[in-house]
Structure formats: structure tokens, C-alpha cells
Structure 1
Amino acid sequence: MCSCLAKNILVGVNLILTVASFAILALGVSIVTGYKYFQEEIFNIELDIQFLPTFLITLGVIAFIISFSGCCGAILESICMLKTYAVFMGILAVIKVAFTIFLFMKNSELSDGVQRVIDESFSSDPGQNLPFHGLESTFKCCGTTGPDSYINDYNLTSPTCCEKFNEDPTTTDDANRICTKDEAYPQGCSQLIRNFFYDTLKIVGFILIGFIVYEILTLTFALYVAATIQMKIVGTEYY
């Protein structure tokens, strides 16, 4: 009964993953064949995205090999395929454990590094600070430590520090393009984005833990089903 349940779980889960791997492969191949369309129409960028189809095809092939060995191994009751699947899942689990430990141990250090990069990218001259303005609009913050990061004689900050401008960035109304320190978002971007990055890495770590648990469970199921099949073979040979 337990063996049958474990077998059905392996088949169901890996059948879904096999279909998903085909979808990833198909997306990678479609980007290769329609590279210019994806670059100009879908992504709307001029950057080189040739790495993307290569990554997707590689990911799809690896996912297909792993899920196929698990699915077919359970259906065909192939000990070799089930053990191969278990080895793959074990390797993936070990890699994720190492990466998760690294994330939790180095989270503060990585987040501090992000904050340093943000601080170094800031200029008190709004005209020389274009990359930073996108952060201000997205995170609703102003300067590195607040509106006072902008040092000038006019009590002004970047327009992206004000909600009235961010609601309509294409406005030509001068009143909406002028943002005083009193109107600006009070919170600085450095600490805000640093905390956001820190919390995001923690979430990624917990998601990885979930994947690790899944991989250990499927590994256990695969070895259990393989052992059950082996015992059946031995019992048949004995009798």
C-alpha cells in the first residue's frame, strides 16, 4: 500500500515536471527562432539576450532528464532509473543546502554591499543621477538618507521624490516637476532598499528550504520504491 502510494506520488509529481520542462524547452527554442521579435517586441530592449534561450534550453533539458527518470522509473519499476533519480535529487538537495546556509550566513553582508553600491551611485545633482531616480520612483524614497541628501540653495530635490510627479512622469506641467524637500518622500533609499534586499534574501532562503524538503521526500520515495521492487525480484527468484 505504502509502496503504491509512493509510486503514484513519484509518477504524478514528475509527470507535471516533465510537462513543465517541455514548456521551458519550447520557450527557449522559440526565442532562438524568433530572437529579433522577442528582443524588440516582447522585452523591448536593445540589450543582448542571447544568454536567455541558452539558459532556458539547458534548464529544460536538465529538468526533463531528472523528471523523466523519476516518472518512467516509477511506471516501469526500473531500479536503475529510480536510483539515478534519487542521486539527482540528492545532488540538488546538497547544492541547495549549501546555498541556503550561505544566504543566511551572508545575508547582512550582502545587504550591506547593496547599500554601499546605492550610496556610491547617488549624486546630489539631479541631472547626474538618472539611474537613482528609478529607485526613488519604485521604492517611494528620496536620496540616500532622505530629502536632505540633495544639497542646493533652492530647497529642491529630484522630481522622482514626489508622489505628484510619479503619478504622471510624462507631465509637462512645471508645477508637478518641481519637488521641494517638504513635499518629498521622507525616507531615504539606502536603508529602505537594503532592508528590502535583506527580507527578499530571507524569503528566498525559506523557499529553498521548501525545495530541499521536497527533494529529500522524493529521494526517499524513490529509494523506497526501488527497494520494494528489489525485494519483489529477490522473492520471485527465491521461490
Structure 2
Amino acid sequence: MDCGTSMAKYLLFAFNTVVSIIGILGIVFGVLILNSIGTIEVDGQVGFPPQAIVPIVLITIGSIVVFISFLGCCGAIRESVCMTMTYAVFLLVILILQLTIVVLLWANKDKFTAAMGEVIDKAWERDSRQTGVFDAIQRSLKCCGKNGVTDYAVLLQSPPPSCCENDNCMNPLNFYGGCRSKFQEFMSFSTDTAKYVGLGLIGIELVGFIFACCLANNVRNYKRRNAY
């Protein structure tokens, strides 16, 4: 096998090894965030609060990246045109999906922020039936009411302990801010981070795609020459 093909083979293997490590780190980071957020219990059912969507997406993407990178490593080591091209196609598909998501997030940031506010609005309305949804969100986000503690005053209700730091509502300074703005800020920061991380991944995946195509083409040509 010529020098160019061997170089492409080992570069692709090294590249996918690094990407696999990045994917595993992404999964670990997502699990740690998910663990710090914790779960909430509503009507006897345990689940994740709305902000858990960020680490769940991170874990999902990390798992996909690890799978695709493993396929790329196998294709490079086995010098398999089929596996390498399958890897390249998967990489191209996920690259296009990520680029689409990044563009949509960039172009619709205001709409996305408004939608996140509506999530809290609906949770507040649902809690009027005493489901415990909002109390769980308050504990998870460390916030109070839809817009602040005054929301409870309007309803002629005492704020629950989850509205205050260390459940101590005797001191007015212990009250948290409103959940709507806090959730919007959290999601805005998360999506901004996701956009830049996504652009970095797109660049890395593009390099991997080029390496994979070069290797598959070189291996195919090498096998054709040896067939004669």
C-alpha cells in the first residue's frame, strides 16, 4: 500500500480516537449536569425538569459521536471501503443536522427564548390545580413564582419553602427571583454555548469526512490496481 494511503489510514484512526474521547467526555459531562439538576416528582411520577433537556441532548450527541467514531476506527484499521464510506455518510448526515440546528438557533433566538418562557407559563398555570409541578421546578432552578414572590401574594397564598434559600422564608433577602427569567437565561446561555460547540464539531467532522473519503478512494484504487 502506498505512503499516502497508509498516512490517511493512520490519520483517520488517530482522528477518530480523539473524537471518541471527546464524545465520551461529552457523555460524562452531560451525566454530571443531569445529576446536579436532579429529578422532580409530580403526581407520584419521577421525571426530569425542563432544563434537563440540555444534558440529555449532550448525552445523546456524545453517544452518536462515539458510535460513528468507532465505525471510523474499524473502517480505517480493516481498510474496508464499505465501512469507511458508511462512516463518511453518517458523518455527513450528522454534520448537516448540526449545521441546520445551529442556523435555526442563530436565526430564531428570540422565538426560542419566548418559547422557553411559555414553558414556565404553562407550568405555573398547571400548578393552579395543586399538582406540585411548579414547586419541583422552583427547587430545581432555585427560583420563586413565575415572575417573583409577588405572584403568590396576588393569589393570596404564602410562598412555599422552595421559594427561599435553605427553605428559610423568614428573611425577605432569602427569596429567589422569578422562574421565567431564570429559565430563559439558563436556556439562552446553554444554546449560545451549544452553537459555538456545534460549529467546532462541524469543523472537526468535516476534516474526518475528508480523511474518510480520501482513504476509501485510495483503498479502492489500490485494490483495483492489484486486481490486474
Does TM, normalized by the shorter one, top 0.5? yes
Q: Does 1:220 align with 2:213?
A: no
CA distance 1:152–1:144, change in 2 (3 Å): closer
Q: Aligned partners of 1:103 and 1:61: how far apart in 2?
A: 21
After superposition, give the CA deviation of every residue in 1:5-60 in whole Å (9 maximum; x if it has no partner). Answer: 4321322454685xx99xx9xxxxxxxxxxxxxxxxxxx99669xxxxxxx9xx97
**2:51 maps to which residue?**
none
Identity %: 28
Q: Does 1:190 align with 2:180?
A: yes
What's the offset of the Cα at 1:227?
3.2
Q: Which ranges in structure 1 are unaligned for 5 or more consecutive residues?
A: 25-43, 49-55, 166-175
| CA RMSD, Structure 1 to Structure 2 (Å) | 4.1
**1:205 maps to which residue?**
195
**1:86 maps to which residue?**
88
Q: Does 1:229 align with 2:219?
A: yes
Q: Aligned partners of 2:191 and 2:93: how far apart in 1?
A: 22
Say which of 151, 166, 170 aligns to 1:164. 166
Q: After superposition, where does 1:45-64 map in structure 2 within 5 Å?
A: 64=67
Q: Aligned partners of 1:77 and 1:220: how far apart in 2?
A: 16
Contact 2:141/2:183 (<8 A) preserved: yes
What's the offset of the Cα at 1:190?
0.8
Q: Aligned partners of 1:47 and 1:156: how far apart in 2?
A: 26
**2:144 maps to which residue?**
142
SS in 1 for 2:177: coil
What's the offset of the Cα at 1:193?
0.8
Paired residue type of 1:161: C
Q: Aligned partners of 1:70 and 1:47: how far apart in 2?
A: 38
SS in 1 for 2:172: coil
Q: How many pairs does the alignment contain?
A: 193
Q: Does 1:108 align with 2:98?
A: no
Q: Which ranges in structure 2 are unaligned for 5 or more consecutive residues?
A: 28-40, 48-58
What's the offset of the Cα at 1:3?
4.4
CA distance 1:195–1:60, change in 2 (3 Å): closer
If the length of structure 1 is used for normalisation, what is the TM-score? 0.62
Q: Aligned partners of 2:192 and 2:155: how far apart in 1?
A: 42
**2:50 maps to which residue?**
none
Q: Aligned partners of 1:10 and 1:119: how far apart in 2?
A: 49
Q: Aligned partners of 1:218 and 1:202: how far apart in 2?
A: 25
If the length of structure 2 is used for normalisation, what is the TM-score? 0.64
Q: Aligned partners of 2:188 and 2:100: how far apart in 1?
A: 18
Contact 1:157/1:180 (<8 A) preserved: no
**1:170 maps to which residue?**
none
CA distance 1:47–1:183, change in 2 (3 Å): closer
Looking at CA atoms only, which structure, 1 or 2, has the larger radius of gyration?
1
**1:71 maps to which residue?**
73
SS in 1 for 2:217: helix
